[in-house]
Amino acid sequence: MAVRGRIARRSGGALLSLGLTLAALGLTVDAGAAFAEEPADDVQITWAVQPSSANGPDGRDALQYSLGPGETTTDYVGVSNLGAEPVTVRVYAMDALMTADGAFSLPPAGTASEDVGTWVGIDGDGVFTIEPGTRTDIPFRLTLPPNAEPGDHAGGIVASLAELAPAGEGGQQVAVDRRVGVRVYVDVPGEAAPQLVVSDVEVDYRGGLGVTGGPVVVSYTVSNPGNQRLGGDVRVDMSGPFGWLLSSAEPQELPELIPGGEVRLSQEFAEVPPAMLLTGSVDVEPRQREGREGDVAGVHHASGTAWAVPWLIVAGLLVVIAVIVLLVRRGRRLRRRLREAEAAVAAAAVAGAAGAAGAANRADEASESPREPAGVGTS
């Protein structure tokens, strides 16, 4: 049976602050749902969800359990109405997921669950009306199936308020499902496989045509293919040809990744010289969450490349090469013409010498031929 208690009444501004504080202990399922607020006749409606007990909230920031297959336990979740009007919410459980930026979240309402969302049974029909300034501590039963797999399982218990809200002009309305919830973690003992994997490394050089270089962005995906929640550290290095280290970023702490979760991250390097071929290297070192001991897989490495060509320098080199080629060709043509001229002169000289020699030979032949005796008479 749900247990009801009262909470202190506060002014409007204080109620919002308290709603944000309480919701921060759990999770926000959709944008803006850290507190539930909907104007209605100038009345503000706000509610929050947190771990609780039969005697009220107990200071936990999440619902965490260690249970074996087939085991069961009973616990409480508290739903507080911080507004001035009654609010009716539907309380239910769902499997958890991770957003692309690493935030813990739940899928849209109506999405079928296969894990923690099917292990939680809410008291009654799950619909509760919370009076203004009060908190209802709602019991639920967590029962693991006999075939529950070892490792960490994640889900959430949400308090949902579905309402019709105006959508633009014309009096049209749309259904709006505002949900605030609390995380549920279940650790099933058994063989552990803690590991993080880095993949899909992309290197984006943004230095343009400049000769001094420019920014480079390395994007990568870190995923958890194992069966335990893990944190970790990631280090990104930028290098040029032959392993020449150009820049190294400070190690960054990863958000906690649930099994099957992944996050897309990026690292920007402000000034990287255009070293022709850039290599972005990413090393991920997994780490057990606080309070848990045990070995984890070693550092996982992946890399990606991108061309960083100083096009102005290349263009200048191409111009120099073109000039050199032109000069070489012109030199070759000049030398060929000189050789041709020298050959012509030599040929002319040979021809002249041959002609002179021929004339001399003819003259010699003429001088050596016999002549008839002159003045020979007869008597």
Please list the pLDDT of the chain residue by residue as tens digits (379 residues): 666 665 543 333 333 333 333 333 344 343 333 333 344 444 455 889 999 999 999 999 999 999 999 999 999 999 999 998 999 999 999 999 999 888 999 999 889 999 999 999 998 899 999 999 999 999 999 999 999 999 999 999 999 988 777 766 666 777 778 899 999 999 999 999 999 999 999 999 998 776 778 999 999 999 999 999 999 999 999 999 999 999 999 999 999 999 999 999 999 999 899 989 999 999 999 999 877 877 888 999 999 999 988 765 666 677 788 888 888 888 888 888 888 888 888 888 887 777 776 666 666 666 666 655 555 555 4
CA–CA distance, 116 with 141 (Å, rounded to integer): 12
What fold characterizes domain 3-188?
A: Immunoglobulin-like (2.60.40)
Q: Tokens 């010699």 — which residue?
A: 364
Q: Which two tokens stand for residue 264?
A: 């897309």
Q: Which residues pair with 66 in a beta bridge?
A: 187
pLDDT given at position 118: 98
CA–CA distance, 216 with 240 (Å, rounded to integer): 12
pLDDT given at position 268: 97
Output the DSSP codes for 56-108. Answer: S--S-SSEEEE--TT-EEEEEEEEEE-SSS-EEEEEEEEE-EE-TTS-EE-PP
CA–CA distance, 183 with 28 (Å, rounded to integer): 10
CA distances from 319 to 210, 323, 333 (A): 17, 6, 21
Burial of 90 from C-beta contacts in 10 A (0-12 / 13-18 / 19+): middle
Q: Which two tokens stand for residue 299?
A: 């550092």
pLDDT given at position 27: 42
Are 72 and 142 contacting, i.e. CB atoms less than 8 angstroms apart?
Answer: yes
Q: Which two tokens stand for residue 253?
A: 């702490």
Q: Tokens 């994997």 — which residue?
A: 197
Do the two domains 3-188 and 197-309 of this chain adopt the same fold?
yes
pLDDT given at position 352: 76
What fold characterizes domain 197-309?
A: Immunoglobulin-like (2.60.40)
pLDDT given at position 13: 33
Are 257 and 224 contacting, i.e. CB atoms less than 8 angstroms apart?
Answer: yes
Q: Which helix (H) or strand (E) holds 214?
A: strand 214-223
Give the residue extent of every domain in the chain: 3-188, 197-309, 311-348
pTM exceeds cut of 0.75: no
